[in-house]
Every structure is written in C-alpha cells, then in structure tokens.
Amino acid sequence: MAEAPYRLLIVDDDREVREGLVQIVDWGRVGFRVADALADGREGIAYLDRQEVEVVLSDIRMNFVSGLELAKHVHERALPVKVVLISGYQEFGLAKEALRYGVKDYLLKPTDLDEVYDVFAAIRQQLDQERSEVRRRARDKQRWQQTMDDLKLYYLPHVLHAAQLESEEIRRQFETIGVSLDPDSACCSRIAVEWDGPQPPEAVLRALQRSAADDDESLTLLPCGELTQPLRLLAVSAGSSQAQLEAALRDRIAHATSKLQGVFGLTLRSRLEEAHESLVHYLRRRQAEQAADRGEPQGAADEAITRWARDKRQWLADVGAGHLAPARRLLRDIAEFDQTGASASALRSKLIELFGSVEAVAEADRISDGLLRLCRSEAPAELLEIGLQLLDQLETADAPVESAERERSVITQVKRFIQERGGVDVSLSDAADLVYLSPVYLSRLFKRETGRSFSDYVTEIRLEQAARLLRETNLKIYAISEQTGYRDVRHFYKLFKSYAGCSPSEYRERRAR
C-alpha cells in the first residue's frame, strides 16, 4: 500500500508566485501534495493552529506577518513542521537569521525548479526516516506496555517486599512502570480477594489491574506474596485519602466483577486487612515482620545490611562506569556468600535489587525478560547465570539516543501538554504516549532537562492554577481543590501551604489587602 504524500503549506503574498508554485511544480514527484496556499504569514499561523502539515514553504518577506515570524512561531511552539523560506539575494542576512528558528532550507529568487526538487527530495527522505521512527516507537511502546504488565505482576512486588529501599529508590521503581508517586505520602491498603471457581489467581489479578488502569491511573494494584486464593493485594494511591482509596477499591472490584461475571460467572469478594498512612510505613513494618519471622538477631541483621549496602554501592559504581569485569566478580562473590546459607530467596532478592537499580535494564525489553526470570527462578546457580547474562546484555544494549534538539522539543511538548490542562488529569503515561516514549525514559529525560521530577512539575502547575483561582475568583476553597484535581481538601491544604508558605484562606486574604 502506497504511503500518503506529505502535506505542504505554501505562503506567499505574490499571487503569481503562489499560483506558480502550486501549478508548475510537480509536488507528487517528490512525495508531497499542496494542502493550501495562503497570501500572508498571519493566515499561515492561523492555519497551523488548526491544521497539520509536515512542511511550510514561505516567502521570507510579506506585508503583515513575515516568513521569519512564521518560522519563529513554529520554533517557539515546537510544532512538528519543517520550514523552507524563499528569499532574494538582498535578503540573505534574514535567511541566515531564520536558521536560528530551525528553518530547514531556503530557496533563492528567481527559483530554480531543479533546486526545488532537490531540496524537497532531501526533506522527504528525512520525513520518511522520522515516520519510520514514529512507527518503531509505537511498536516499542506496545511491547513496553506488555512488559509493564509483567513487571507489575512479578518484579515490582518482589523488590518492594524483599529489598531495603530508600524513599527515592521506591519512587524510581514505581516510575519504571509509569507511575509517579511520593512513597512518603501515598497511602496504601492490603486487601484479600476471594471467589468461587477454578479460575487462576493470575487471571483475576490481571482483570483487577486492568480495571484500575482503565479508570484511575493514580491507583496501582500489586500482589503481596504468592498468587493463591485468597489473593492478597497491595493497593497504592497517589493524592488520595485512605477513605477515597477504599472507595476506589470497592468501585474497581465491582467493575472487575462485572467483567469476570459475564465471561466466567465469577463474583469477587474482598476484605480490608491493613491500612497505612504511607507506602514507606507499610514496607518498613513488613520488612521488620519478615526479619522477626526469620529469627534474625539484631546485630547479625545490622552487619548483613552494612555488608550488602557496601557491595551494592561498589557494584553499581562498576556498572555505571562500564567496568563489567569487576562487576561480574562481585556478583559471583555475592552469590557465593548467599549460597552459604542455602537461600535462593535471599540471592534472588539481591539480584533483583541490583539490576532493578540499573537504568538500562528498565529500558531494554529483552533485558526486562531477565528480571522476570530472576523473579521466577528458585535455584541459586540459575540465578547467578541469569545475572551474568544480564551483565552481558548490558554490555551490548542500545540505549535510546535523542539529539539535544529532539530532547528539548519533547520536553517543550510535554510541558505545554501539562500547562494546557492545568496539571489536572495528567499522567506520566499520557505524556509518554504524546511523544512516543516509554514512561521511564520520559521521566528521566524530564528530570535531566528541567531539574524536577515529572510529578513535582505537575503538582507545581496545579498549585499555580489554584493560586490564580484564589486571587481571581470567589470560588470556595473546596471547589478550587476539586477543580485542580485534589479530591481530598486536607491534602490540598497541606500541599498548598508547602507551595505558598501559608494556607489557601490566608493566601486569599493577603492578596485581597
């Protein structure tokens, strides 16, 4: 099936030139079609605000809005449009200035037809490459989503419950599956789900997870321990109160039941077992209980933790510097130390924690399969073999490569996406979809380019919107809280006070003076 031609917008205030470009040039020969021909840059800007084209061909000088201003408009808004300018010899200085706005090329008057074909043939080649890249990203995103489903099922629950992680590392682990949250404030609950019938727990879990993801991306469901009946789940929610989390859980279980009932005749029953004010609080308590169950003396546990922290730092430093030979040796030492206790579980937890801390692992789908194999393996020798294979794959993995210009464009698009929505109903996954990137890669790119995490920036935009509403409207504070995406007014008060240094009511009073 033939590819659709690329769309071209022609802008020139000289009617004869404009019509000549439309009628004389065989645009189909170089893979283009003329979407429209306009008489001024002002019309061109209005057109680009409502229509999509791949290329604009514009005169550099026009009566009202010049081609230079049109190029500036495209550049400042990071529109996915290439601009070619037509200029006279005396306007060569302007053409050079236009290069600052990312103008792709320029044609000199009088225009040579062969030059037009050469310029647009080169642009078509670049557009073909970009089109292929977009499709590749879409395929990668689909594979990524499949991997994320498996990571939620196997990897993340294991590393959270088995590893000693700091808050920032817990945050990063959740970003691996495209979820932005603050583990120190995200409340969580543990529930038990039961049903009558032979359906496997994994099928029920996937139905519940998809139900949560379809309607509420702030709610994440993870299994606790083995997949058996009753199925124990950890529900984590960012930006909700405990009461709201429990209400959302009831709603999601009812939703999943309606789906399972229609297909399998299943009815789910659930009960709340634990509720915690924060994910960190839950994990610390769970880890303390596990240590007590193992009967570990406090001194021995402290010594083991100190040794492990030292080994982990050294291993991550070696891998980060590309020194994979010493990383392999240390991996063997860790495995040998843990095998003395004949504990595959302890070794598995450590290897998962190590490789889960390496950014390249989360980005490469084929390497993430190794993480899943780690989660499933029960044999110490096999665990070590998988770990060494992961190191071999890291050595040859192709990390995503983005040009500086592309990275800036991506972040500009994402920030505009957040700002246009006032930060409300904006998720990392939505933003990643917009720019055809995986959530974890976008999260790190955003942090590197802006110095802030994605979730922190969204919160800032929401609170800026709240401050504006407090200044400019008479809306009740609870209404402003809801309008800016905070269903829990107490949580909104806490965030706003941290942002503005005072409560919402005090902020309004001060601005009214």
* Sequential pLDDT tens for the chain (513 residues): 567 899 999 999 888 888 989 999 999 999 999 999 999 999 999 999 899 999 999 988 888 888 888 988 888 888 889 999 888 755 556 656 666 777 878 788 777 888 999 999 999 999 998 888 777 766 666 665 665 666 666 666 766 765 566 777 787 777 766 677 788 888 899 999 998 877 788 888 877 877 766 655 568 888 887 778 888 888 888 777 788 888 888 888 887 777 777 777 778 888 999 899 888 888 888 777 766 666 655 555 456 666 777 888 888 888 878 888 888 988 888 887 655 444 676 777 778 778 766 766 555 534 456 766 777 777 888 888 888 888 887 766 544 444 566 678 888 989 999 998 888 888 887 888 787 776 767 887 888 888 888 888 998 999 999 999 999 998 999 899 988 888 778 888 888 998 899 999 999 988 776
Centroid of chain to Cα 22: 42
For residue 68 the two structure tokens come to 């230079």
Q: What is the pLDDT of residue 513?
A: 63
Cα separation, 220 vs 148, whole angstroms: 12
Of 328, 315, 318, 479, the residue nearest 389 (C-alpha): 328
Residues forming beta bridges with residue 34, ordered by sequence position: 8
Give the type of residue at 361: V
Question: CA-CA-CA-CA torsion for 59, 61, 62, 63, nearest 10 degrees?
Answer: -170
Of 121, 71, 77, the residue nearest 99 (C-alpha): 71
For the chain, which domains are there? 6-131 (3.40.50.2300), 165-291 (3.30.70.1130), 297-396 (no CATH), 404-512 (1.10.10.60)
Q: Is 182 helix (H, G, I), strand (E, B) or coil?
A: coil
Cα separation, 118 vs 125, whole angstroms: 11
pTM reported for the whole predicted model: 0.47
Long-range contacts of residues 483-486, Cβ cutoff 8 Å, at least 24 apart: 483/424, 484/422, 484/423, 484/424, 485/239, 485/423, 485/424, 485/425, 486/239, 486/462
| Burial of 395: CB neighbours in 10 Å, binned 0-12, 13-18, 19+ | exposed
Q: What is the pLDDT of residue 176?
A: 64
Start-to-end C-alpha separation, the chain: 67
Cα separation, 434 vs 261, whole angstroms: 35
Q: What is the pLDDT of residue 401?
A: 44
Provide φ and ψ at 508, rounded to 5°.
-65, -40
**Edge-to-edge order in the sheet of strand 219-223:** 219-223, 231-237, 187-194, 269-276
Q: What is the pLDDT of residue 366?
A: 46
Tally: H helices and E strands in the chain: 23, 9
Q: What is the pLDDT of residue 365?
A: 39
